[in-house]
Structure 1
């Protein structure tokens, strides 16, 4: 069944979010809406504030000002684990897996976060059928066939797939993907583009990425940040033709 994007209400909404680190204004009054079935790309030069914005949305960092709403509920300033429990998952620029665990064990650990906190530590993890099924399903979604392989033996592209599988194991509504194609060759990049395309109909996706070919293949909307603020936002054709964006980031050729 093909899902149609739902633009009636945003899954996640950011209103005038701002972050200061002492005298540095890292993110300056940024607003955006993320909808299910839509890839919203966040682009701009290094140091523009993109990752800081993702940190503010995910709960890694508390905002100085502004609000974040998830399905209408204010989640501004909640810690990372609470935001995750509510349905927001993220990947990081740098690899973020347990390298001595297998791919399946990494995903199972992520899925276990949905069990909540109780005295379950006295029961072996492998006995939770629902957790095991969620981990296996997440790995299947990203196309990792060898669940028992140790993460340290996976290729760079496979580790990126594993990181997304770990996010999916938490059953999120919103996916925040911070440079998922970084360091990939052409074949690995194509697999990641296909994976994000497959996931988009079921999630609201915020994609931070420097690979402009991938961005323009995937994105329904783009927001461009420079020096902490937004200089343009709109559909790919409009943003690509924007003179300020060309001068600040894309180039004029």
Structure 2
């Protein structure tokens, strides 16, 4: 349904000099669905993510978020309009506790977020939003732990909790399972499945087991271009995708 389409990218292109890192890419992110973008290193996946989040301006094309044209807008504005993202490298405040990290993220969405001398823990809406995000990210038992002291997998959960605390409609996740062991990866897959129902999500990931467990739709990129897009079954059966990326075992 049209009202469930939360983000659309139309014919996005990003050139760096003579190189088109992303070339004429279109995709749609829909509420309650996870759209995975896969491809080999250098395919343009992270550049596409940066275009959608506003970290890079497109050379050509158009991006709409919940019906609003956000093409070329700065990332802080796009974030406030309902887009949250994680990065390949964990982006947290390591000396702060889990609670302090998530509370700061929640506080960024208040009208007076810059009033650093306020007693933020007295603002009940911030507290409730932070508590809910920590619960959703399954970090309740780590609330008072220093962020730098928790495991790598838990730090990735914390980054997701911080993103959820900003109340996004759309989530862009750039290789959230990178560097994880099997057990940590399984826990994060379970977490992403749990939060998928309330968001439109895009996942960039190399772990194909996780991708096929999570994705409702996949887009495959090679050399900045889309070579296939469809359901997981469509992608598994695509001979061109197998030759370019998945391999014979797909």
Q: What displacement does 1:126 show?
A: 2.2
Large movers: runs of 4+ above 6 Å? none
Q: 1:36 to 1:150 in 2, by over 3 A?
A: same
The 5-angstrom pairing of residues 60-79 of structure 1 reads 60-79=55-74
Task: Calculate the TM-score normalised by the size of structure 2.
Answer: 0.96
Corresponding residue for residue 223 of structure 1: 219
The 5-angstrom pairing of residues 239-250 of structure 1 reads 239-250=235-246
Structure 2 CA distance for aligned equivalents of residues 51 and 10 of structure 1? 22
Higher alpha-carbon deviation: 199-208 or 113-122: 113-122
Higher alpha-carbon deviation: 130-139 or 118-127: 118-127
Structure 1 CA distance for aligned equivalents of residues 117 and 185 of structure 2? 42
SS in 2 for 1:11: strand
Indicate if the aligned counterparts of 2:13 and 2:23 stay in contact, CA closer than 8 A: yes
Q: 1:207 to 1:136 in 2, by over 3 A?
A: same
- C-alpha distance after superposition, 1:46-100 (max 9, x if no partner): 1100001000001111111101001111011111110110000000001100000
Q: 1:7 to 1:136 in 2, by over 3 A?
A: same
SS in 1 for 2:5: coil
Q: 1:119 to 1:167 in 2, by over 3 A?
A: closer
Corresponding residue for residue 42 of structure 1: 37
Indicate if the aligned counterparts of 2:133 and 2:162 stay in contact, CA closer than 8 A: yes
Q: 1:114 to 1:94 in 2, by over 3 A?
A: same
Structure 1 CA distance for aligned equivalents of residues 116 and 182 of structure 2? 43
Equivalent pairs, count: 248
SS in 2 for 1:202: coil
Task: Calculate the TM-score normalised by the size of structure 1.
Answer: 0.95
**Quick one: which of 192, 196, 200 aligns to 1:200?**
196
SS in 2 for 1:100: coil
Q: What displacement does 1:7 show?
A: 6.3
- C-alpha distance after superposition, 1:146-187 (max 9, x if no partner): 211000101000000000000000000001011111111111
The 5-angstrom pairing of residues 168-207 of structure 1 reads 168-207=164-203
Indicate if the aligned counterparts of 2:107 and 2:113 stay in contact, CA closer than 8 A: no
Corresponding residue for residue 96 of structure 2: 101
SS in 2 for 1:195: helix
Higher alpha-carbon deviation: 127-136 or 238-247: 127-136
Q: Any stretches of 5+ residues in structure 2 without a counterpart? A: none
The 5-angstrom pairing of residues 73-88 of structure 1 reads 73-88=68-83
Structure 1 CA distance for aligned equivalents of residues 181 and 161 of structure 2? 20
Corresponding residue for residue 213 of structure 1: 209
RMSD: 1.3
Corresponding residue for residue 3 of structure 1: none
Structure 1 CA distance for aligned equivalents of residues 114 and 221 of structure 2? 45
Indicate if the aligned counterparts of 1:7 and 1:36 stay in contact, CA closer than 8 A: no
